Structure 1
Amino acid sequence: MGNKTVAAEDENLYGILKEPNIGKVQLGLEKMFPTRYGNAAYFAAGTQSLGIRDSVDTPRRTTTSGVGATDFWLDTLYVCEFCFKYTDEEVALRRHVSCCRYRTKPPGRIQYMSPEYTIRKVRGSKHPLFCQCLCLFTKLFLDNKSMYFKTDHYDFFIIYQSSTKEPMGFFSKDLISYQKNNLACVLTLPPYQRKGIGSLLVDFSYKLSIRDGLISGPERPLSPFGLVSYLKYWSSQICWQLLEGDLSGSGRTSLDAISRATGIRIGDILLTLRSLNCLTKDYDVSLSVLRAWAKDNYSYRNSLVRDEYLVLDN
């Protein structure tokens, strides 16, 4: 009984809902897409409202009824694509976007700058409002992440189009991680999915942990989709090292050597090798199986992040 009470309190605290309660999101002035999961926190901010308007108003619950009715509390949520503040009025969004402070100068410090992408580190303790609004938005598209107001102990790495300064995705990193995780949550914004943004962010998270001398990985549990994405990334890194990288031609290689070369935890390496079905009866790695995987995944490579564009700080 006590556990059920705690679970119910957590759902109320974090706004967890089993079904979507917002029909669609308009991100900026042009991008519109449906939500995937429910988020009651938008409607319960009260005097702590993070919305676009200066008053304490929050989006109004406007469930429809009658012919063609839905169970949505709100048909459309309008979100600024530069600061992730929100409103239930399109005119308010348009008024805000024209003067949003982050439209021309995004928050945080540049960590990576290529002709295509820029990654900026935003400290949750320094930019709490931006990070809280980002986390609220994320809850509409990820079902296994509930934090949105305790951002002080997180860094957020936002990837932007270098030419337009439009955010395309992000990952967060817990600064107080006893497991030394290099990633807590990752999201590619719906308009930019299937463009390799998520894999690039994951690769960047490993660049950070390798710079710090850590063998690391993502926070558990992984969602089913997250596990599939990571297995593809881990497979590419392991295949590269064994077929073309520092470990190629070295004969029998230990899990520890693969871990040191890739920065991937041994448990994740073993999981990946089993998923590739490349372990022999003697627990050797079948290079012929890896070559076949590499041929089928011809776009794999050692790193998506190019070292010459890194501008890392501490």
Structure 2
Amino acid sequence: MSHDGEGLYGILNERNIKEVQFGVDKRFPTWYGSNVYFDPESRALGYLEKNGSDGLSGSNGTNGHNKGDVQFWLDTLYVCEYCFKYTDNEEDLAGHAKHCRFQKHSPGKIKYKSPNYTIKRVKGTKHRLFCQCLCLFTKLFLDNKSMYFKVDHYEFYIVYETSSTKPMGFFSKDTVSYYQNNLACVLVFPPYQRRQLGTFLLDFSYKISKSEGLISGPEFPLSPFGLIGYVKYWSLKICWEFSEGELANMEKITLENISSVTGFRISDIITALKYLGCLGESDEIYLSILRKKLNRHSCEALVEDEYLLLDD
């Protein structure tokens, strides 16, 4: 996601933070480099230059690392798994976690609540520091479309296990979108991947759009991984509609029919049908092929309408 040209600011060609300690029991390597955590001259964590206004108290930003190393500026970044505040000191993180106000009550308003998962909407205008720290964290795992400071025009939809207050992933949505995009960026945090939560969040973004009567889709351009995720999701949803949904008994289908039912943009539907090998010349849809494509067990990650709480 980007705003005022800020989107790619801070991205480096190589990783500069070696690992993240996320809470007390989750440690994993970063995927991308970002200098936005640091003062550009001293390479100390930036909040240390601001008297602790953006993070926790900490030391000198090196936590034992050799400053002469040409790649890593920091061995370990310690990040609160409830509020995303950060430090370079393990003891400071442990002390903060005991008193973090979001440990018992996560921010935002519930928009979906099932026995398994809860999604909460957090407005950038209301929880600015939380959203800024979330965006800083995101920059370590997305290589594009990740702003971090100007969050006032964004909403963040954060997924939790219903029994927990630990965020597992999120997507952001621009509240002022000329193209009526329903998603700016999406990330499932490393410890929670391979649970189909990405598909779950994409589906929820379309539920929001449909509740608003919009035909919508993500902000472009998509990253390579983002495009793969979307093509698989669009294909899954279209196949399901033809197999068990509103299009199951229709003999003649147009792209407009599919768009009306799914809420997908026609250009995205074409991309998915080409991926499925079900689109011929003159946009002819091969229904017999399409109806055989669905794996009936693959829809388990989709949002269940009965648990939606979208009315404001």
Superposition TM-score, scaled by structure 2 size? 0.90
Describe the superposition over 1:101-126 as per-residue Cα deviations: whole angstroms up to 9, x where unpaired.
Answer: 00000001111111111111000000
Mapped pair 1:51 → 2:55: yes
Mapped pair 1:180 → 2:203: no
Larger RCO (CA within 8 A; separation ≥ 6): 2
Pairwise CA distance, 1:58: 7.4
SS of the residue aligned with 1:166?
coil
Residue identity opposite 1:224 in structure 2: P
Contact 2:216/2:263, CA 8 A, preserved across alignment:
yes
Size of the aligned set, in residue pairs, is: 299
Pairwise CA distance, 1:283: 3.2
Describe the superposition over 1:9-48 as per-residue Cα deviations: whole angstroms up to 9, x where unpaired.
Answer: 969x932211110000010000000000011111123328
Moved more, 88-97 or 139-148: 139-148
Pairwise CA distance, 1:161: 1.1
- Within 1, Cα distance between the matches of 2:285 and 2:66? 59
Contact 1:108/1:123, CA 8 A, preserved across alignment:
yes
Mapped pair 1:102 → 2:106: no
Partner of 1:285: 285
Pairwise CA distance, 1:62: 6.3
Mapped pair 1:29 → 2:33: no
SS of the residue aligned with 1:33?
strand
Partner of 2:43: none
- Within 2, Cα distance between the matches of 1:153 and 1:36? 27
Residue identity opposite 2:130 in structure 1: F
- Within 1, Cα distance between the matches of 2:292 and 2:136? 42
Partner of 1:258: 258
Sort the Cα spacing of 1:10 and 1:257 in 2 relative to 1 into closer, same or farther, 3 A.
Answer: closer
Residue identity opposite 2:297 in structure 1: S
- Within 2, Cα distance between the matches of 1:131 and 1:252? 46
Partner of 1:133: 133
SS of the residue aligned with 2:21?
strand
Q: Residues 203-214 of structure 1: matches in 2 within 5 Å?
A: 203-214=203-214
1:306 to 272, 296, 304: 304
Contact 1:42/1:58, CA 8 A, preserved across alignment:
no
Q: Residues 20-169 of structure 1: matches in 2 within 5 Å?
A: 20-44=15-39, 45=46, 46-47=49-50, 49-53=53-57, 59-60=61-62, 63-64=65-66, 71-169=71-169
Contact 1:210/1:263, CA 8 A, preserved across alignment:
yes
Residue identity opposite 2:310 in structure 1: L
Moved more, 164-173 or 76-85: 164-173
Mapped pair 1:170 → 2:166: no
Describe the superposition over 1:221-260 as per-residue Cα deviations: whole angstroms up to 9, x where unpaired.
Answer: 1011111111111011111222222122221211111100
Superposition TM-score, scaled by structure 1 size? 0.89
Structure 2's unaligned 5+ residue stretches are 40-45
Sort the Cα spacing of 1:140 and 1:303 in 2 relative to 1 into closer, same or farther, 3 A.
Answer: closer
Residue identity opposite 1:26 in structure 2: Q
Contact 1:21/1:71, CA 8 A, preserved across alignment:
yes
Partner of 1:247: 247
- Within 1, Cα distance between the matches of 2:281 and 2:145? 39
2:9 to 11, 14, 19: 14
SS of the residue aligned with 1:118?
strand
Contact 1:236/1:302, CA 8 A, preserved across alignment:
no
* Identical pairs, percent: 56
Partner of 2:270: 270
